[in-house]
Amino acid sequence: MTIDLILFLILAVVAIATALGMLLSRNAVYSALFLVLNFATVAVFYVLLGAPFIAMAQITVYAGAIMVLFLFVIMLLGAEKTPGNPKWSDYILPAGLALVLVLESIYLLISRGVPSGEIVQPEASVNSVDFLRQMGMALFNEYLLPFEVTSILLLVAMVGAIVLTKQEKGGRG
Amino acid sequence: MVPVNYYIILSAILFTIGALGVLVRRNPLIMFMSIELMLNSANLAMVAFSSAIKSLSGQIFVFFVIAVAAAEVAVGLALIVQIFKSRHTINVDEMNSLKG
Amino acid sequence: MNFFTEPLNLMLFFPLVGVLALLLIPSAQKNALRWTALVASLITFAISLWAFFFSGQYEAANPDLQLVAKFDWITVAGWNIQYHLGVDGLSILLVLLTTFLTPISILSTWTAVEERVKDFMIFFTLLEVGMLGVFMAQDLFLFYIFWEFTLVPMYFLIGIWGGPRRIYAAIKFFLYTMAGSILMLLAILWLGIEGKTFSVPLLIEQGGIPADIQWWLFLAFTAAFAIKVPMWPLHSWLPDAHVEAPTAGSVILAGVLLKMGTYGFLRFNIPLFPEATVKAAPWIALFATIGIIYGAAVSYAQSDVKKLVAYSSVSHLGFVMLGMFALNAQGISGAILQMINHGLSTGALFLLVGMIYEQTHTREIKVYGGLWKITPVFGSIMLIVALSSMGLPGLNGFVGEFTILLGAWGAGMEGGAFAPMGGVWWAGLSALGVIMAAIYILYMFQKMFLGPQGEIVDEVKKHGHPLRDLNWREIVTVLPLLIFIFWIGLYPAPFFDLMAPSVNKLVEALAAVAPMAMP
Amino acid sequence: MQLSETISTGFLFLAPWLVFFPVIGLLINLIFGGRMSEKAIGWVASAASGAAFVVSVLLAYSVSAAHGEVLRWTLAPWMHVGDLAIDWTFRADSLSTTMMLVVSGVGTLIHIYAIGYMHEDVRFKSDLGRYRRFFVFLNLFIAMMMILVSGDSYMMLFVGWEGVGLCSFLLIGFWYDMDTLGRPSWANSNAAKKAFITNRIGDFGFLLAGFLMFWKLGSFQFDSVFEAAAEVAHNEPWVIVAITLFMLIGVAGKSAQIPLYVWLPDAMAGPTPVSALIHAATMVTAGVYLVTRSSELYTLVPQAQYIVAMVGAATALFAATIAVGQYDIKKVLAYSTISQLGFMVAAVGMGAYVAGMFHLVTHAFFKALLFLSAGSVILGLERGHHHLAHHGGHGGGHHEEVFDPGDMRNMGGLRKTMPVTFWLYMIGTLALAGIFPFAGFWSKDEILLDASLHYPTVYILLSIAAFFTAFYMGRQIWMVFFGEARHDAAAHAEESKPIITAPLMVLAALSILGGALNLPFEGFHNLGHWLEYTLHEVEALPLNLQVAGISTALALTAIVVSWLIYGRKPLTKGQPDPLKKPLGLIFTGMENKWFVDEGYWAVFVNRYVDISRFLADYVDWRFWHDFVHDKVIAGTYNWLSTIALNDYADQKVINWFFDGWGRATQWLSATTRKVQNGFVRSYALSIMLGVVVILGYLLLKP
């Protein structure tokens, strides 16, 4: 049992726990906070997996931007507590399905065993500027078109959000 | 020395929890969060594979997924706000205008 | 690429320039449309004159195809289809007739067509392209395309601007022609596949089609052409089409479209299938003779003047067929000339009938009478045209009919094409048509122009438009036809000279292939 | 080159002007006539015709200067196809120049006469506009007639042949909108049509003769044909027989012989100058000219000659009998013309070409004279009638009845009111009756003499015809000029103006002296010698006193008989013909032209109409168009497509299947649509289910 593994297991427990917390909380604000925690945990995983850039993106975009947006909306709508929380009976069918899904995928992994091997804690060099350059090179050469398309997508989403929430001028106009 | 499989299993569990959230919760905000969780689990799997096969492509892909997720959330939340404004509720079980 | 510097290409496609111009003019500007169509067709006529007489590229003494424009067109999958145009003595007069009659017909619609002028002119100009293509195409495939193409504008000309039963007439015209064309298409495909080419001159040169197959191919082509001519008994579409068609349509139909059938015989049937031709000649003569007599007899009993003229076409084209299948120089030359004559005379008859119809709106012969007194110019022109149609010597009809009958009589003598069956009887009986033509033509002329004044005169006066004589535009419309009626009648030498080399070549080729001595 | 030719052929270069002059006159009147006075129009036309006469004279002079050489002038090629070669070639020889002189000479006189005559005629029929048209047609006729007589080939002759037929049609139908009495009617135009169509039947024969000629003798040119004929006649005589007999059909049509003579009496519907010019003097003699021209063919085949002679003789007698029973002054002359043409045809049939031509010429003089005088009589009566209408003191009533100025029963006593016309008419009558020394005596006598020598049957027939000729002419004279006026119009008839009588005097002089052309005395056979240039066998017979005596005796007897019947006791108003009682049915036959027209109508005309109606209505339209095409072909297709395929196969079978399919789908979707409840969570659930199932499938997949 290496340090890595121990760390992994601890973090995995935290991640699952926060995910369940998000799922089960009656208050939406709590759910959001659980999710932030979950995202942070996943960010640590990324670091462990030798993807520090993604980890930072995860923190800033998800934990920082998106979840703040969620909280804003929750507060704005006053929707912390929504009526009609699921009863236990509501969980039976979905949970059964989910269980089957998990079992299926685990079985699939084991029986087919496609991705094998272990993740080694990366060298320090991975975290160097050189790595980031590689990443940048790939992003702006090989994946330039998707990159640009993504920027357009973001623009469109921005415009869409503005249009959707725009106040009707109504009688005042 | 964590086997890739562990990450995959973790990813599957997180994904399932997210899916469960979409299925059982009636609050669209939480459903959205569940979707974010599912996206995250997928990202995790991809980064794990990326590390395992020593390829940057997976990370790049995750990068795009994050961007898409941001866009999705922006539009989705705008929709929710708009729906709340017109119907004064966000309970998805009260919304069925698309029924066949 | 000098595609458009070839005279024939230029001639063939120039009307399309007119169509483009017409498309750009708003529908409301009727006069602009008319002038555009007229000028376009006149320029086409000028091009044809230039190409044949002034460009120095056409040599009348040369019996072969000239002004040839040719390139490979569709050569996939072993097909050898060419874009191949050419004109020789057999077709030059018909090409000229087409370019000559089109402006005249357009001129005749000046006041007759008031609705949808734009569409009318476009269809008419397109029709000219089709007709020219038929007379120029030397590739069977190309020919077939043009052949079918002419149906479309004509269908609309009858179907939109025609009389009360126009839809019926248009559909009948279309279907009848299509039915024959399908058989021809099969024969064309057989020739193209077996002969490895669709080029008519090449196919003629190759020859060697077995006699029994020739016979079937001959019949297949005959189906298409005989319907178009129309030969008795396939004439049933003609009266309907003529009666219902607008004046310009009738003129072109009688003047040019029917000639496509007789021309088809001349261009394809006879040179491609010489043995079958010789075998079929007496039978064609039989049908032609029946057509001559039947058409003339039926013509006499008509009460509708347009129908009378339509049936007279059956009779006249019977003469053409008779002469053509006499297979000697006189007969074939006469047949070609008679095609032109019929185009001029019957075209003029339809024009004149149209001019009076425009005023009276009736074609019933019996309501007319005594018109000569009221409309002397009209009556006199009608008289000349009628006499030309009945073959008075000194006018064009006689030269054609006489040479045809002379040729047919010669074909009936021993060694001639009709000798195996009927002999000189075909010519003798057909000559009866000369008497019968006098009967129906004089009947028509008498009942419309002589005798006491008909009821229509007062009828028309009652509506505030008393009958008037021809105006200048109408005279200008008919005058060119009259000039040719006299010219061909008195001095046909230039016309015979144009066709003589090719006709002689054809007759010689027949004499060489067919096991018979040509008289 | 041109110069030397001109010298050797004299005035031949003028030959085309025979045609061009009348055509120019025609064009002037046609184009400028609207702005010209009546007189000017008439004189232009007359001048054109006169110019043609001058040309004829010059040509005749050239021919005689060339000692009968055949002169040809080719103007242009006409039809050249293969071996066929026909040119516009003018021919001047003694025969054709004779015809030219007659045609243009008589023609010019009649033109001049017509200036006066038509002036009054158009006035009486109140249509002044037609004056110009008349002269246009008349000039056209001269042009066509000139083509006919001057052509150097059968085909050029045929152009004129049909052309004069056309002019005849136009001029018979000149008053096309009325009948001879001026009432609105189809009668005149019917007569015109009848003439043209009958002529066309003859032309049909001519054409067939032409075809046979070309293919057997190799040409249409006169001399080539004659050259080839001798050999062919030796090898294949039937060819020449056929050609000559086909030609006879043409002759019968144009020269009004049995059986195609029926158009000529009706042709009297035309104005009188037309009757004189076309239907007496010139056009109708074209047949005689044709036979004479083809003398070399006819001489080869005596059988055909005999048939021609018999046809002529039979016609001469037959028509003469009909003439006896006619009341119309012009109809009598018309039948007389047919009869005289019979004389000529008989003559040329017998091979007596000179006699035939001689009679043709003299007949042209005296028959033209008679017709024109008759015209003068008619005008005189018109004037009388007009006079009455204006000074209508005789009490209304009977003027409203239609007055026929040509009916001899309305005449009588005109000797006193129209003395000049009377004397002119007398001269014409005596010439026609064959009284010494008038022109008719010499020419008719020559024919009879020839017949008596060669064809006794013909001789007998012709002699009887000659008797009848004198009789009906006598009858006419007594009825018209003697006795008392049987109508007020006749009593007030007025003599015609000099412009009308002057040409008549010229013709009268020719009728008297015309015999001098060919007196049957040694050294006086002028016409015979003249024609000898062209016709190779010319018999110059001396006067036979026996034949001459018999014929003169017959004529005199006939005149005396006619005096006994009509002159001694003049007809009174309303009295029937004195011959009617004694002759009974025979006279009814004569009166009604032996019912030939009715017979033709019943046998041919009505049958043709029936057949063409039957073909048009029943065969072509009801059967072929309506039944076969619309019912059988289109109907079957319609039935197949609407009933069989559409209603049954398509509607019942195929439609049912697809309708069923559609209903099933509807039911299915109605059922399954409940799945689409609009709740987002249930959709998510189904996606989840799908994922599970697909994963399961992937797992279970080997």
What one-character-per-residue DSSP string does chain A give?
--HHHHHHHHHHHHHHHHHHHHHH-SBHHHHHHHHHHHHHHHHHHHHHTT-HHHHHHIIIIIIIIIHHHHHHHHHHHT-SB-S-PPPHHHHHHHHHHHHHHHHHHHHHHHHH--S-SEEPPPPGGGGSHHHHHHHHHIIIIITHHHHHHHHHHHHHHHHHHHHHHPPP-GGG-
- pLDDT in the model for residue D632: 85
Question: What separation in angstroms does the CA of D467 have from each of D462, D561, D569?
Answer: 9, 10, 22
Is the pLDDT assigned to residue B86 strictly greater than 50?
Answer: yes
- pLDDT in the model for residue D2: 43
Is the pLDDT assigned to residue D394 strictly greater than 60?
Answer: no
A98 lies in some domain = no
Please state the length of chain C.
519
Is the pLDDT assigned to residue D3 strictly greater than 70?
Answer: no
Local confidence band at A84 (pLDDT 50, 70, 90 cut-offs): low
Q: What is the mean pLDDT of chain D?
A: 86
Burial of C335 (0-12, 13-18, 19+ CB in 10 A): buried
Does the distance separating the beta carbons of D689 and A104 come in below 8 Å? no
Query: D676, D677, D681, D683: best mutation site toward chain B, by most B Cβ within 10 Å?
Result: D681
End-to-end alpha-carbon separation of chain A, Å?
Answer: 70
- pLDDT in the model for residue C483: 94
As a whole number of angstroms, the distance between CA A172 and CA B17 comes to 47
- pLDDT in the model for residue A99: 86
Q: Mind telling me how many Å the CA of D672 is from chain B's nearest CA?
A: 9
**Domain segments of chain C: what residues?**
275-519
Domains and CATH numbers, chain B: 4-94 (1.10.287.3510)
- pLDDT in the model for residue A116: 58
Does the distance separating the beta carbons of C294 and D176 come in below 8 Å? no
- pLDDT in the model for residue C517: 41
Does the distance separating the beta carbons of B48 and A49 come in below 8 Å? yes
Q: What are the tens digits of pLDDT across the range D93-103?
A: 888 999 999 99
- pLDDT in the model for residue A122: 56
Local confidence band at A64 (pLDDT 50, 70, 90 cut-offs): confident
Q: Six-digit token pair at C266?
A: 């001349």
DSSP secondary-structure letter at D486? Answer: S
pTM for the whole structure: 0.78
| Sites in chain C below the pLDDT cut of 70 | 1, 514-519
As a whole number of angstroms, the distance between CA C101 and CA C44 comes to 11
Burial of D394 (0-12, 13-18, 19+ CB in 10 A): exposed
What is the count of residue pairs from A and B with beta carbons less than 8 Å apart? 234
- pLDDT in the model for residue D497: 85
CB of D677 within 8 Å of a chain B CB? The answer is yes
Tell me how crowded residue C43 is: count the other CB atoms within 10 A of its CB.
17
- Cβ-based contacts of D678 with chain B (< 8 Å): 95-100
Q: What are the tens digits of pLDDT across the range D574-621?
A: 778 888 888 878 888 888 888 888 888 888 888 999 999 998 888 888
Q: Which of A94, A100, A101 sits opposite D685 (nearest CB)?
A: A94
Question: What separation in angstroms does the CA of D123 have from each of D40, D181, D182, D274?
Answer: 17, 14, 12, 17
- pLDDT in the model for residue D6: 45
- pLDDT in the model for residue D702: 66
Q: What are the tens digits of pLDDT across the range D507-535?
A: 999 998 888 888 877 777 788 888 887 88
Query: What is the domain range of residue A26?
Result: 1-82
pLDDT, greater one: C290 or D7: C290
To which residue do tokens 């046979």 refer?
Answer: D212
Q: What are the tens digits of pLDDT across the range D134-148?
A: 999 999 999 999 999
As a whole number of angstroms, the distance between CA D313 and CA B66 comes to 128
- Cβ-based contacts of C294 with chain D (< 8 Å): 615, 620
As a whole number of angstroms, the distance between CA C249 and CA C240 comes to 12
Which among D246, D222, D162 has a CA at the least distance from the CA of C401?
D162
A166 lies in some domain = no
Q: What is the mean pLDDT of residues D232-242?
A: 89
Local confidence band at D204 (pLDDT 50, 70, 90 cut-offs): very high
Q: What are the tens digits of pLDDT across the range D533-562?
A: 788 767 777 778 888 888 899 999 999 998
Whether chains D and A touch (3+ CB pairs under 8 A) is answered by: yes
A31 lies in some domain = yes
Which among A30, A24, A86, A36 has a CA at the least distance from the CA of A60?
A36
CB of D691 within 8 Å of a chain A CB? The answer is yes
Is the pLDDT assigned to residue A78 strictly greater than 50?
Answer: yes
**Residues D501, D420 contacting (CB under 8 angstroms):** yes
Q: What are the tens digits of pLDDT across the range D627-680?
A: 888 888 888 888 888 777 777 777 778 778 888 888 998 888 888 877 777 777
A119 lies in some domain = no
A50 lies in some domain = yes
Q: Six-digit token pair at A28?
A: 């939406």
Does the distance separating the beta carbons of C452 and D186 come in below 8 Å? yes
Q: What is the mean pLDDT of residues D299-312?
A: 91
- pLDDT in the model for residue D396: 44
A112 lies in some domain = no
Q: What is the mean pLDDT of residues D197-206?
A: 92
Phi-psi region of D7 (alpha: psi -120 to 50; beta: other; left: phi over 0): alpha
**Residues C49, C137 contacting (CB under 8 angstroms):** no
Does the distance separating the beta carbons of D699 and A101 come in below 8 Å? no
| Number of domains comprising chain A | 1
As a whole number of angstroms, the distance between CA B79 and CA B77 comes to 5
**What percent of chain A shows pLDDT beyond 90?**
10
Q: Which of B23, B37, B40 sits opposite A94 (nearest CB)?
A: B23
Q: What ipTM is given for this predicted complex?
A: 0.69
As a whole number of angstroms, the distance between CA D325 and CA D409 comes to 12
What angle do the packed helices C166-195 and C237-244 form, to 10 degrees?
130
Local confidence band at D4 (pLDDT 50, 70, 90 cut-offs): very low
